[in-house]
């Protein structure tokens, strides 16, 4: 009994110290984001117009987070082996949260008071009147200090109370608030997208008000998110049941007709968007006239088309815009009619076959091969349809963001072969990206030294081969290196490549600091892919090809050899794996994939300079692997969206990009080292490591506690 009491006393003292430290650290973080200007800069953007800004939201998150972290730490301490306290009382947890929040609020109050006594701006230039107005809520500083302290305590208590809410209620609430904050941050993007033709104007007016979301819009977003989170666990069952009904009760002829007409409609819309106009889109139940911008009735459009045919006596001689628009409108009307017909057939057949045993067994059999294939095909079909529809739905600027995400995603797939599969840490991956871009520029630009003037498609195979050979040249000298040594050497290769492109030695061929200009755009027939909304289709095709190659390699003999090398190279050699060959293969394939990204990058800009290929590109590509999960293909997609897409959407905060990267990486390494979407194997390995570490800590704590009891 004495031992248990002693252990509990040690735990209580230990956690009291931890609680104070968490509050102090959180207060210092609050001061830090104020002093570097983040709070004031973020305060220029409202989450909810006229009510709360992004800067205030950041301070609230820090205060609430301090209470949540303190309670989480308390619970972990209470689960220490030897402790008789199973779970801290609710009031104890609230007190811990209030204490940390009190320290945060007091720290901010002291800072506000100090700004009134001492002129800090001569040293700390971000301590501006605008920052003080935000912190004091435009009230006198002497009156607001107590308010700030009390608010900090309340927010810390809220953070502590979150842990005592039922998880089924807590998750929807947290995700609902997160969605409101996220869409409030992306208010400009919402305005750009919803202002496009085809979106109802009432939706924009309902969601967005002044500098942020409207109250009604924020409430709707919150309620919608909560509803989606609640029904999310049931969606797979609903989808499975829907597919089973379609396969069992809808005639295959109708299924085929819907898929064909939908494909025709979507293909024609993409063709219109790329080859005719990216602004004046046909909108049901109308179509686009030949020589006028507004949509006209379908009957008039068909009349115009028939007049053109009668005049030219040739369908291909008609106006292309009218022809394509008519096909789009007719096919989309057919899709809607066929879907309605499928619905009617399904209801009719369900009523007719309700008592048939064979039909019931087919509908309820989870291992029915036809149903499994149907679910896979339908998922793939709608995924591709969504991907090709994004530029049409979103517009030019969001397509620019998606294009940049795609460039890094493509590099991520290539780097994943080198780092995630083969286990070779490469920090100079930007060199292959640069070689791909410069090779494309040299082969296609009429202003290049050799003046070949090749088309993009003719140059692309040569670019891939040249960059693959460069990968072999880089990989050959580092065959015997691993770990930190390999990382430093490859980092050096990346910087050497940039300085070679910049040097005067190669200026006659590479252009030096002026780079290479007049790189022609990508062309498909008479259609030029100019603009991010058109190049998006090129980069997404490259990403899908790279994803397919990576997925096939992972389960192949080559992938297993890379896996063995990454685990233990000496054991792999003992098993007969030719490590030299497989290392060079990894470098070569990774370089080839990066070259495609570089080629699209060169065609996108039309001009390339050496300064575009700095080490930050390599760090970003590696960071998205870490955030998403090293070796995980879905993780690469998520990592690219988080690390590249979000900063692109918030371009006015570009100066804080590296700081945000660092914070995200530290958070991931501490809380989720396996990544957001890790491989199952990697998760298992990390769990085993954590279990072994926990066992070691358990033994050490028992030894320390035993010695302290003996001394007592």
CA dist., res. 56 & res. 50, Å (int) = 12
Whether 589 contacts 419, CB under 8 Å: no
* Residues 308 and 322: beta-carbon distance below 8 Å: yes
* pLDDT computed for residue 282 by the predictor: 61
- Quote the tokens at residue 402: 């998606």
Cα–Cα dist 332/281, whole Å = 13
Residue 409 has a pLDDT of 95
CA nearest to 638, candidates 408, 322, 299, 361: 408
* pLDDT value for 690: 56
Measured in residues, the chain has a length of 712
Q: Which residues in the chain land under pLDDT 50?
A: 1-4, 6-7, 10, 82-84, 290-294, 309-318, 707-712
pLDDT reported for residue 365? 58
Q: How far apart are CA 498 and CA 495, in angstroms?
A: 5
| Contact in structure between 613 and 428 (CB atoms under 8 Å) | no
How much is the pTM?
0.83
For 326, residues 6+ apart whose C-beta sits below 8 A from its C-beta are 287, 298, 301, 302, 305
Residue 371, C-beta contacts closer than 8 angstroms, at least 6 positions apart? 243, 244, 247, 365
- Is residue 163 within 8 A of residue 73, CB to CB? The reply is no
Report domain extents, the chain: 2-164, 235-392, 395-620
Specify the DSSP class assigned to residue 631.
T
Handedness of CA 304, 305, 307, 311 (dihedral sign): positive
Closest CA to 612 of 493, 515, 540: 515
- Collapse the DSSP code of 251 into the 3-class scheme (helix H, G, I; strand E, B; otherwise coil) and give the result: coil
Among positive and negative, which fits the CA dihedral 144, 148, 153, 159? positive
Q: Which helix (H) or strand (E) holds 588?
A: helix 579-605
pLDDT at 709: 43
Helix (H, G, I), strand (E, B) or coil at 252: helix
């Amino acid at each position: 009994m004495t031992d248990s009491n002693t252990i509990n006393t040690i735990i209580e003292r230990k956690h009291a110290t931890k609680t104070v430290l968490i509050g102090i650290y959180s207060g210092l973080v609050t001061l830090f984001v104020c002093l570097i200007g983040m709070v004031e800069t973020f305060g220029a953007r409202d989450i909810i117009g006229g009510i709360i800004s992004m800067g205030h939201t950041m301070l609230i998150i820090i205060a609430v987070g301090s209470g949540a972290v303190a309670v989480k730490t308390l619970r972990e301490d209470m689960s220490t082996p030897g402790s008789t306290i199973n779970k801290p009382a609710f009031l104890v947890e609230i007190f811990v949260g209030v204490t940390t929040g009190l320290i945060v609020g007091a720290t901010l109050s002291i800072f506000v008071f100090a700004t009134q006594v001492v002129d800090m701006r001569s040293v700390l230039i971000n301590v501006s009147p605008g920052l003080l107005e935000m912190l004091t809520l435009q009230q006198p500083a002497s009156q607001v200090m107590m308010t700030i302290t009390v608010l900090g305590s309340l927010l810390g208590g809220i953070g502590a109370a979150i842990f005592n809410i039922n998880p089924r209620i807590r998750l929807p609430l947290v995700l609902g608030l997160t969605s409101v904050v996220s869409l409030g941050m992306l208010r400009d993007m919402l305005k750009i997208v919803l202002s496009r033709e085809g979106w109802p104007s009432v939706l924009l007016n309902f969601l967005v008000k002044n500098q942020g979301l409207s109250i009604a819009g924020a409430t709707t977003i919150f309620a919608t998110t909560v509803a989606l989170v609640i029904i999310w666990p049931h969606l797979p069952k609903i989808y499975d049941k829907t597919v089973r009904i379609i396969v069992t009760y809808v005639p295959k002829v109708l299924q085929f007709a819907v898929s064909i007409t939908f494909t025709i409609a979507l293909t024609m819309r993409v063709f219109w968007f790329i080859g005719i106009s990216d602004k004046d889109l046909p909108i049901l139940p109308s179509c686009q006239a030949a020589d006028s911008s507004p949509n006209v009735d379908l009957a008039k459009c068909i009349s115009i088309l028939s007049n053109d045919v009668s005049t030219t006596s040739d369908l291909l001689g008609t106006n292309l815009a009218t022809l394509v628009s008519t096909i789009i409108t007719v096919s989309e009307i057919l899709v809607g009619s066929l879907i309605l017909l499928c619905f009617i057939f399904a209801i009719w057949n369900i009523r007719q076959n309700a008592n048939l045993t064979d039909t019931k067994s087919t509908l309820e059999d989870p291992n029915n091969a036809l149903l499994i294939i149907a679910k896979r095909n339908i998922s793939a079909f709608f995924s591709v349809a969504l991907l090709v529809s994004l530029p049409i739905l979103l517009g030019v600027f969001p397509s620019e963001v998606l294009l940049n995400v795609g460039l890094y995603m493509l590099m991520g797939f290539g780097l994943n072969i080198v780092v995630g599969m083969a286990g070779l840490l490469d920090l100079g991956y930007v060199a292959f990206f640069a070689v791909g871009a410069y090779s494309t520029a040299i082969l296609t630009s009429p202003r290049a030294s050799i003046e070949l003037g090749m088309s993009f498609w003719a140059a692309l195979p040569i670019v891939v081969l040249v960059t693959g050979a460069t990968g072999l040249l880089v990989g050959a000298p580092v065959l015997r290196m691993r770990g930190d040594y390999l990382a430093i050497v490859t980092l050096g290769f990346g910087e050497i490549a940039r300085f070679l492109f910049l040097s005067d030695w190669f200026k006659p061929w590479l252009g030096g600091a002026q780079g290479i200009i007049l790189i022609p755009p990508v062309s498909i027939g008479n259609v030029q892919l100019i603009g991010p909304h058109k190049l998006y289709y090129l980069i997404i095709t490259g990403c899908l090809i790279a994803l397919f190659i990576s997925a096939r390699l992972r389960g192949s003999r080559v992938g297993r050899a890379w896996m063995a090398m990454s685990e233990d190279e000496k054991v792999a050699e003992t098993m007969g794996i030719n490590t030299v060959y497989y290392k060079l293969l990894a470098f070569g394939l990774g370089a080839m994939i990066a070259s495609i990204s570089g080629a699209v990058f060169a065609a996108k800009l039309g001009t390339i300079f050496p300064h575009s290929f700095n080490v930050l590109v390599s760090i970003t590509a590696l960071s998205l692997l870490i955030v998403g999960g090293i070796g995980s293909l879905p993780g690469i997609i998520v990592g690219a969206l988080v690390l590249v897409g979000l900063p692109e959407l918030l371009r006015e905060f570009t100066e804080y990009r590296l700081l945000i990267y660092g914070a995200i990486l530290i958070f991931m390494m501490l809380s989720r080292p396996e990544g957001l979407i890790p491989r199952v194997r990697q998760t298992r390995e990390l769990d085993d490591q954590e279990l072994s570490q926990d066992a070691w800590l358990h033994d050490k704590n028992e030894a320390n506690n035993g010695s302290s009891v003996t001394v007592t």
